Structure 1
Amino acid sequence: MFFWPLSSICFLAVLCGLATAANVDFTQYVNVFQGTTGGGNRFPGVVAAPFAMVKLGPDVQSGKTDAYSGYLPSGNIWGFSMMHESGTGGAPKYGVVSQMPVLGNVSNPLGDLSQGRATADQAQIGYYKSSLANGIVVELAATEHAGVYQYTFPESTTPSIVVDVSHVLPSFRGLGWEQHYSGGNFSFFPDGHYEGSGTYNNGWNLSPDWIIYFCGKFDKKVATARSFKGVGTTLASFDTTPSVSGSERVGGVFTFAGTTVTSRVGISFLSSSKACRNLDDEIQGDTSLQSLTEKARDIWNAEVLSKVQVSGASDADLQLLYSSLLGMFLIPSNRTGENPGWSSDEPYYDDIFTLWDTHRCHTALFHIIQPNAYEEFIRSLIGIWRNDGFMPDARSSNYNGRVQGGSNADNVLADAYIKGVRGAINWEDGFAAIQTDAEEVPPNNNDPKAPDSSTKEGRGALPDWLTYGYITPTYTRAVSRAIEYSANDFGLYQVAQGLGKTDEAETYLSRSRNWYNHWDSNASSNGHSGFVAPRRSDGTFISQDPLSCGGCYWGDAYYEDNPWVYSLNAIHDVAYIKELSGGDDMFVDRLNKLWDLNIFNAGNEPSFTSPYLYNFVKGQQWRSVERSRAIGKLYNGGTGGLPGNSDAGAMESNILWQMIGLWPMTGQTTFLILSPWFPELSINLGTGKQLKVTSTGGNKDTAFFVQSLKVNGEQWDKAWVTWDDVFANGGTMEFILGQEKVDWATGVLPPSPASGHILGGMSAGIRSGKDNN
């Protein structure tokens, strides 16, 4: 396969860095290894289309390091498997339906067959190559439900391929989240093909047993075929018996004559016969690796990469832009037609990790870049509620879990509703799905990390929320959950209001303000008073250092960030946050302190919106731009190019919004204005519409402050735009940039839709939780 060096990309355009030429192959700008080191956990293997079910790549062992996506840059490869996730944390998931090529006859297929790499792996969209230390070369390509392994063995050797049904990615963290193999079956047939299934459980979402079926075929006549069964590394049987099954490790070993072997494998969640149909439908015996690679490249170009085009970008920025677009659309997985849980004509998406991570900025860009798939995704969330009782905040292997804070599918549905996503969505059911989260307590799944209430779905701390209007220490993550429950209720208000459900809208708008029942005006830190804090059932606050969140994990009052950050996180009620903070000047200083005190973490989702809240103070928009540019410097298109875990593309979507020069306020139609990176950027919005963002007079790195702005040809004086302004029908944004920190945004401040009672002159005093329901 041929790989474009990044230094060669400029021949495609009149000017180096121009990426707007017709029929440009944008995949050449993509580094599939972006974010694979430094904790990014990106999957670099073959994903033939956005959200493809098959994610084919290597599984690597390196000491006791968890390989969340299967891939690690160093260590031994011990299999190449069909299913992975990208950018997940907690514990690995999948690494199933695996093969491993071996030199010579295999005496014990349950032993260590792993190999180091002779050279670093190579890859591009649609293609992956590993050169093993023993001389075997493995090349991979795939479709949405099937994959191809092309093996080249050294001369004068016996090619062997081991299919190990028990293969699964392990975890070494000791948290009880490791995957388990429960059992399987394996059969080979006289025509040389094989079928079977494996049953597995656990992983980061604590799922019970689930089954994946497989069907494999080879392009060469099988010389010998043997099945095996055993426990650990001890063989119980290894012979020509064509079928084996049970709770032991099972699988098969095939040998061939010659130096090349091509293996084709299909998978299905429904049956092995469906796996065979998927294989035959998508990859025929004469299908070449090159044709599959080209098809994958064409799909990614058409459906994602070409949707965003820029001019005036450096090579490095082009690589960052298009590599980040790839990272955004690797998961969830589109499993439509492959749902074993219920029969339905509705779309079905799985591998949702997690809406806690992605609702802040990923889903808003998902909507813009892939509007048809986004509608399907919304329908899928509602479909899961219809059949499983609750929408997921996270889901994998057809099972909900795990909820870290609120029920953030509520925010995602609300965001879609108020931006006019309709299509085939049943919004009455959508409202009922959100209301289920708001009113029904989910059964406790007895998660050892947070045994107080469900981490599977819904709002486990709902009893306190309904009783007190806040959450007591009876429940873990009490404060961070309360902030998120408020935002979830605001989402329900948005949908209720749109559907004409006046009483419900009033109820949930009121509940969306309950976050401030956690506001302890006596808590102080570094010149500021008032922070969200734990609160007992008698109404008294628990003393909490605002710079500390304890362990910041499952058993603490704050999850993955501290009171300074969570005190700014009710983004539907910013006007009231400002008032509680002491007014504009103190609010700005409070924001500044996130950096002065080294609190802000660009790799941590609760902090994502904080840098842009300066837009809620007149004359301060330049500070949001300054923070945005600093965050941009933490990214690049290289292997360590993400400032934290990808979190299923959340991190990548963050930098893409910086490039555009906007920031979405989830659950609202508001986008805060930042500053674009490029002289010209266009986003194809579908049906002939586009958003075109231009900038003159400055540059990305040293002269990036907004001097003036026109929106759709009209002079603009607001630090925000709406969905209708620039996305609903397309639009233009014409920036003039420079080095001066100009007070250009003199108009109306961004909406603070839950703060109407404050803006209308109502008392800002903290009311008791019981009075604030």
Structure 2
Amino acid sequence: MSTCLAAILLTAIASVTAETDFTQYVNVFQGTTGGGNRFPGVVAAPFAMAKLGPDVQSGTTDAYSGYLPSGNIWGFSMMHESGTGGAPKYGVVSQMPVIGNVSNPLADLSQERASADQAKVGYYKASLKTDVVVELAASEHAGLYQYTFPKASTPCVVVDVSHVLPSFRGLGWEQHYSKGNISILPDGHYEGSGTYNNGWNLSPDWNIYFCGKFNQKPSTSKTFKGTGTGTTLASYDTTNSVSGTERLGAVFSFKDTNVTSRVGISYISSVNACQHLDKEIPATTSLQSLVDRARSTWNTRVLSKIQTSSTNATDLQLLYSSLFGMFLIPSNLTGENPGWTSSEPYYSDVFTLWDTHRSHTPLFHILEPVVYEEFIRSLIDIWRHDGFMPDARSSNYNGRVQGGSNADNVLADAYVKGVRGAINWADGFSAMVTDAETTPPNNHDPKAPDSSTKEGRGALPDWIKYGYITPAFTRAVSRAVEYSANDFGLYQVAKGLGKSAEAQKYLERSRNWRNHWNPDCTSNNHSGFVVPRRANGSFIEQDPLSCGGCYWGDAYYEDNPWVYSMNALHDVATLKKYIGGDAKFVDRINKLFDLKIFNAGNEPGFTSPYLYNFVSGMQHMSVKRSRDIGKLYNSGTGGLPGNSDAGAMESNILWQMIGLWPLTGQTTFLILSPWFSQMTIDLGSGKSLKISSTGGNKDTAFYVQSLQVNGKAWDKAWVTWQDVFANGGTMDFVLGPSPANWTTGELPPSLAAGDA
């Protein structure tokens, strides 16, 4: 493509972008069925604290995000998470519209839908069988409920402080309501708080405060408390103020059938909740103005960051729906930290770095660099005050750790890619050293009672003593593989900080995955797999196609030895040698697919399809696998191949579209093949990465024939951060229907194997 033509096309893209509302391509219901667990309700800005939406009950099905496509709505609540698993979290500060006299607010007040819910960015609508229409909008810390009741009805709104999302899995991870209080003030507004615990991260009691106001003074208002549901009547309190461990709330009735309810929330106090409400949604605020604000915010901060020349509606819907879903959590709670006073940013609802560190956080860095720096600072500040960085965090409490201390990987990735700003990297490295050297106290998780699942590396005693992890600890093999990657992260930062002794120490420890490698373990014409190892050094016999239950109490977590044996991504040269050379390495990747081992919906295998790039002339196979994986996605309700996992799944398909794959903790990006003839990624500070392709298409002619990077011919199957992201750059692909041997240059580095 000529430089002149490219310039014309890019100018055209910029012109279209200036006039485009990218939210028109977002299906907020993407990934809400089929186990995707996406939250479709109102999130007014990326990482907003308030996530306002419906809570649905349907038999004994867990509603992880509150939403289910079928079932009765039993409340609309202010707080949710998106794409989480294990058990639901939040579903608190709830209210439900009811027609007529409410004799027992503890009874089942849920309602069927009259039609399917409708939603778009910043807006949600539910129509109930009672002919009540509920419309929702929000700001960062407050929500607006607009109720339209039938004419001549008696409108009521029931506020239920004791409402939480339940779990029916029987694993002991269900949430509990502990206590609360609510008071109705003389002007008709109400304030209070609720205390809750448990959920997927097993957190102890935590508090949320609320402040609610209506557009009209209620005709009647009364608080209630009780212990029953449909059998024990609630006791109404004439003082309009109740507290206690019983279920409690308030009931408001109105004369006008158009009722607007505004609610602010805070982790600090009800005073703060009222301040958020009055500042962000004043009494004169219209629902449409909030919708417009949300749409503008999402367009500016996220959606416009990736621009393409495509006019294919299907591709655009997948692109922008995935971008939206990627930035719903974590939650920015800066100024809302109840645990300590600090001038540092603060983020919670991190689910989980085990899920997101492979592909989500690298793209988070690129598209939201300012917020990403804040997120890194928050991780370090949590260590300053709580003692450990989180691998996961919710309701201001660390947990649960599924494998390694993957905040180490995230910090290393930020460091090697030059993230500095206001980050105190001395403290950052100290936080990483805490993970690497300090065994966290055991929190006695019933599913993994051997060591802490709250934070840090619970199996550290074995790791330090033996250089591997024995079956005395659950998830021994998968943790060992992850601990190796974590220690590689420490090596990267120590080296950058000039700490040569520490760098050498953690480089050597990053090779400890090799101590689990049993060369005599065989499967499907392959020898050598990571397996359990006893304290006396002997290996335990292991079928590489089996991982037992693949869960908390097993040697491998959520995947089998075939996958984890390919996960030493910082030491691939050694891995190739152990497997038997290039041909066997390629065949082993092939076997992941031939034997149907690979699961595109499971994070441990995310990078496996692209390891072909470590073999000269085999990059085309990474492209083929990438395209096959892309077929598993769409923008529909079942459009994710697995649980969203806080946007990890969405980030995966976005990298396929871009045509690159990150290796977290390294500056290396493996080259795939872009989907679009033109794509521009806004890197901030006036920089951009411009990607073009000619001669092919996304579906049938996608193999790379040649590539120029920054105007120069390129013969490597990888680029670095410095090549295309640090200062921006260009990547110009020529594509075709058949593979071409264009990758004749040096292979991607394997730093733990000694590559410079």
Residue 204 of structure 2 aligns with an amino acid whose one-letter code is P
Aligned to 1:563: 561
Aligned to 1:720: 718
Runs of 4+ displaced beyond 3 Å: 13-21
Aligned to 1:93: 89
Q: Is the 8 A contact 1:615 1:624 kept in 2?
A: yes
The offset of 1:22, in angstroms, is: 1.6
Deviations 1:191-245 (A, max 9, x none): 0100000000000000000000000000012100011010032235214321000
Instruction: Assess, with a 3 A threshold, how the Cα gap between structure 1 residues 14 and 546 changes in structure 2: closer, same or farther.
Output: closer
Deviations 1:622-667 (A, max 9, x none): 0000000000000000000000000000000000000000000010
Query: What does residue range 544-583 of structure 1 map to in structure 2 within 5 Å?
Result: 544-583=542-581
The offset of 1:325, in angstroms, is: 0.3
SS across alignment from 1:22: helix
**Selected match of 1:34 from 30, 34, 45:** 30
Q: Is the 8 A contact 2:310 2:316 kept in 1?
A: no
Aligned to 2:654: 656
* Stretches of structure 1 lacking an aligned partner (at least 5 in a row): 1-12, 761-773
Aligned to 1:770: none
Aligned to 1:269: 267
Tell me, in whole angstroms, the C-alpha distance in 1 between the residues paired with 2:272 and 2:617. Answer: 61
Tell me, in whole angstroms, the C-alpha distance in 2 between the residues paired with 1:599 and 1:173. Answer: 26
Aligned to 1:487: 485
**Selected match of 2:431 from 433, 449, 462:** 433
The offset of 1:449, in angstroms, is: 0.2
Tell me, in whole angstroms, the C-alpha distance in 2 between the residues paired with 1:524 and 1:540. Answer: 16
Deviations 1:232-286 (A, max 9, x none): 3223521432100001111100000021000000000000111011100111101
Residue 192 of structure 2 aligns with an amino acid whose one-letter code is G
Tell me, in whole angstroms, the C-alpha distance in 2 between the residues paired with 1:232 and 1:718. Answer: 68
**Selected match of 2:700 from 699, 702, 707:** 702
Residue 345 of structure 1 aligns with an amino acid whose one-letter code is S
Residue 213 of structure 1 aligns with an amino acid whose one-letter code is Y
Instruction: Assess, with a 3 A threshold, how the Cα gap between structure 1 residues 209 and 593 changes in structure 2: closer, same or farther.
Output: same
**Selected match of 1:625 from 623, 626, 633:** 623
Tell me, in whole angstroms, the C-alpha distance in 2 between the residues paired with 1:129 and 1:19. Answer: 33
Query: What does residue range 170-209 of structure 1 map to in structure 2 within 5 Å?
Result: 170-209=166-205
Aligned to 1:224: 220
Q: Is the 8 A contact 1:45 1:57 kept in 2?
A: yes
**Selected match of 2:687 from 672, 686, 689:** 689
The offset of 1:608, in angstroms, is: 0.1
Aligned to 1:743: 741
Deviations 1:145-181 (A, max 9, x none): 0000000000110000000000000000000000000
SS across alignment from 2:401: coil
Deviations 1:97-139 (A, max 9, x none): 0000000110100000000100100001100000001100000
The offset of 1:18, in angstroms, is: 10
Tell me, in whole angstroms, the C-alpha distance in 2 between the residues paired with 1:152 and 1:491. Answer: 55
Tell me, in whole angstroms, the C-alpha distance in 1 between the residues paired with 2:608 and 2:282. Answer: 51
Q: Is the 8 A contact 1:18 1:312 kept in 2?
A: no
**Selected match of 1:301 from 299, 302, 323:** 299
Tell me, in whole angstroms, the C-alpha distance in 2 between the residues paired with 1:239 and 1:431. Answer: 55
Tell me, in whole angstroms, the C-alpha distance in 1 between the residues paired with 2:261 and 2:636. Answer: 32
Deviations 1:517-551 (A, max 9, x none): 00001100000000000000000000000000000
Residue 26 of structure 1 aligns with an amino acid whose one-letter code is F
Aligned to 1:764: none
Identity %: 77
Residue 535 of structure 1 aligns with an amino acid whose one-letter code is R
Aligned to 1:117: 113
Q: Does 1:63 align with 2:59?
A: yes
Q: Is the 8 A contact 2:13 2:307 kept in 1?
A: no
Residue 643 of structure 1 aligns with an amino acid whose one-letter code is P
Residue 279 of structure 2 aligns with an amino acid whose one-letter code is D
Tell me, in whole angstroms, the C-alpha distance in 1 between the residues paired with 2:308 and 2:194. Answer: 46
The offset of 1:668, in angstroms, is: 0.0
**Selected match of 1:352 from 350, 362, 366:** 350
Aligned residues between the structures: 746
**Selected match of 1:102 from 91, 94, 98:** 98
**Selected match of 1:138 from 134, 138, 147:** 134
TM-score computed with the length of structure 2 as normaliser: 0.98
Q: Is the 8 A contact 1:309 1:683 kept in 2?
A: yes
The offset of 1:21, in angstroms, is: 3.2
Q: Is the 8 A contact 1:17 1:313 kept in 2?
A: no
Residue 417 of structure 2 aligns with an amino acid whose one-letter code is K
Query: What does residue range 243-254 of structure 1 map to in structure 2 within 5 Å?
Result: 243-254=241-252
Tell me, in whole angstroms, the C-alpha distance in 1 between the residues paired with 2:185 and 2:220. Answer: 12
Tell me, in whole angstroms, the C-alpha distance in 2 between the residues paired with 1:687 and 1:254. Answer: 51
Residue 487 of structure 1 aligns with an amino acid whose one-letter code is A
Aligned to 2:4: none
Deviations 1:19-61 (A, max 9, x none): 9432310000000000000000000000000000000000000
Aligned to 2:393: 395
Tell me, in whole angstroms, the C-alpha distance in 2 between the residues paired with 1:19 and 1:97. Answer: 43
The offset of 1:312, in angstroms, is: 2.5
Aligned to 1:499: 497
RMSD of Structure 2 on Structure 1 (CA) = 1.3
SS across alignment from 1:365: helix
Tell me, in whole angstroms, the C-alpha distance in 2 between the residues paired with 1:602 and 1:115. Answer: 37
SS across alignment from 1:542: coil
Tell me, in whole angstroms, the C-alpha distance in 2 between the residues paired with 1:498 and 1:19. Answer: 42
The offset of 1:370, in angstroms, is: 0.2
Tell me, in whole angstroms, the C-alpha distance in 2 between the residues paired with 1:443 and 1:729. Answer: 44
Tell me, in whole angstroms, the C-alpha distance in 2 between the residues paired with 1:320 and 1:81. Answer: 28
Query: What does residue range 728-767 of structure 1 map to in structure 2 within 5 Å?
Result: 728-756=726-754
* Stretches of structure 2 lacking an aligned partner (at least 5 in a row): 1-8
The offset of 1:603, in angstroms, is: 0.1
Q: Is the 8 A contact 2:224 2:235 kept in 1?
A: yes
Tell me, in whole angstroms, the C-alpha distance in 2 between the residues paired with 1:62 and 1:495. Answer: 49
Tell me, in whole angstroms, the C-alpha distance in 1 between the residues paired with 2:223 and 2:478. Answer: 52
Tell me, in whole angstroms, the C-alpha distance in 2 between the residues paired with 1:179 and 1:601. Answer: 30
Tell me, in whole angstroms, the C-alpha distance in 2 between the residues paired with 1:47 and 1:607. Answer: 30
Q: Is the 8 A contact 2:104 2:234 kept in 1?
A: no
TM-score computed with the length of structure 1 as normaliser: 0.96
